[in-house]
């Protein structure tokens, strides 16, 4: 695939170029987060529960009904509105927590159970509709960001890792976790996605299944490492140019001042 004529320009202006939906949506969320924080801080626990119920009813249920349009324009979860909704749910977990389980591995059971249910529905509905209607329909209903099972799986995985307090490897985990957002951004750049990632996958697409499975996993691991190194170098470059200090200055002067104004 050829690069878009605006590919290089969009790399420097990703939001204006709408280069990456998540980066754009996350930027919008960061602008709304101070207001959402005030909302959650002043809500009672029951009010917060009710708000999450509203989110579930409006955003998760209608989009699961076949032939129903995207009523509230959440684009299957690929939108700022959905991130704001998930921010509110995450805020509830941070402020009020969830019921504690005697065995933390039950959270993993919930995580894998949610995924298995969604995939079982996919498989069963795929074969039923294909045999009865001549084509597969409605089988991807629960394989979406806005699916109740995906939301539940995310909550279960979050709760499982909250219960973990590793005594070894903390520094390594913190270092790798600080790179993950950058890895995501780097690997979705047109220059890497089209010129490296797609080309690599196409070369093994017609190979035996075993080779494809190993090859795809190798490509994923390689992408994580390469983009991780690129992100690390970018962080070091920002430190060298003292751009990180400039960002901190902007945050301290503008963001914190704005937060105090909002609180008052």
Residues 6+ apart with CB under 8 A from 196: none
The larger pLDDT score, comparing residue 223 to residue 76, is at: 223
Contact status, residue 160 vs residue 104, Cβ threshold 8 Å: yes
Residues 6+ apart with CB under 8 A from 107: 101, 156, 157, 159, 160, 163
The larger pLDDT score, comparing residue 36 to residue 98, is at: 36
The larger pLDDT score, comparing residue 17 to residue 171, is at: 171
Tokens standing for residue 239: 């430190």
Radius of gyration of the chain (CA): 22
List the one residue out of 91, 88, 47, 79 whose CA is nearest residue 146. Answer: 79
Region 74-85: mean pLDDT is: 88
Region 174-190: mean pLDDT is: 84
CA distance 10 to 184: 16
Has residue 175 got a pLDDT over 90?
no
Give 208's Cβ-side CA count (13 Å radius).
2
Tokens standing for residue 76: 């299957």
List the one residue out of 155, 136, 132 whose CA is nearest residue 55. Answer: 155
Q: What is the dihedral of CA 199, 202, 207, 208, to 10 degrees?
A: 110
Contact status, residue 51 vs residue 43, Cβ threshold 8 Å: yes
Region 173-177: mean pLDDT is: 83
CA distance 119 to 34: 37
CA distance 173 to 34: 28
Residues 121-155 pLDDT 10s: 999 988 898 888 888 888 888 888 888 999 999 99
% residues pLDDT > 70 (the chain) = 89
Region 255-260: mean pLDDT is: 68
In the three-class reduction of DSSP (H, G, I as helix; E, B as strand; rest coil), residue 255 is classed as helix
E strands, the chain, in order? none
pLDDT for position 164: 81
pLDDT for position 178: 85
Q: Please work out, in degrees rounded to the nearest 5, the angle formed at the alpha carbon of residue 149 by the alpha carbons of 103 and 140.
A: 145
Residues 6+ apart with CB under 8 A from 46: none
Mean pLDDT estimate for the chain: 84
What band does 201 get if pLDDT is binned at 50, 70 and 90?
Answer: confident
Has residue 241 got a pLDDT over 70?
yes
Residue 167 — φ and ψ, nearest 5°?
A: -85, -25
156, with CB counted inside 10 A (0-12, 13-18, 19+), is: buried
């Amino acid at each position: 695939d050829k690069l878009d004529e605006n590919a290089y320009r969009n790399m420097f202006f990703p939001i204006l170029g709408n280069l990456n939906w998540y980066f754009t949506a996350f930027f919008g969320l960061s602008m709304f987060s101070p207001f959402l924080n005030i909302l959650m801080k002043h809500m009672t626990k029951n009010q917060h529960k009710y708000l999450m119920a509203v989110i579930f009813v409006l955003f998760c249920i209608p989009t699961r009904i076949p032939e129903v349009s995207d009523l509230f324009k959440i684009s299957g979860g690929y939108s700022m509105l959905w991130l704001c909704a998930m921010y509110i749910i995450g805020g509830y977990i941070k402020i009020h927590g969830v019921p504690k389980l005697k065995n933390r591995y039950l959270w993993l059971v919930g995580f894998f159970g949610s995924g298995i249910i969604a995939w079982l529905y996919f498989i069963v509905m795929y074969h039923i509709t294909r045999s009865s209607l001549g084509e597969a329909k409605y089988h991807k209903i629960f394989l979406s960001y806005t699916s109740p099972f995906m939301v539940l799986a995310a909550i279960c995985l979050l709760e499982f890792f909250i219960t973990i307090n590793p005594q070894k490897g903390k520094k390594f985990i913190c270092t790798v976790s600080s790179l993950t957002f950058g890895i995501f951004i780097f690997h979705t750049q047109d220059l890497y996605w089209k010129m490296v990632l797609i080309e690599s996958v196409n070369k093994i697409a017609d190979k035996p299944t075993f080779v494809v499975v190993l090859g795809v996993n190798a490509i994923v691991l390689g992408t994580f490492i390469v983009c991780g190194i690129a992100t690390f170098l970018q962080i070091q470059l920002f430190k060298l140019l003292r751009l990180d200090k400039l960002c901190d200055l902007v945050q301290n002067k503008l963001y914190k001042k704005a937060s105090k104004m909002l609180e008052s």
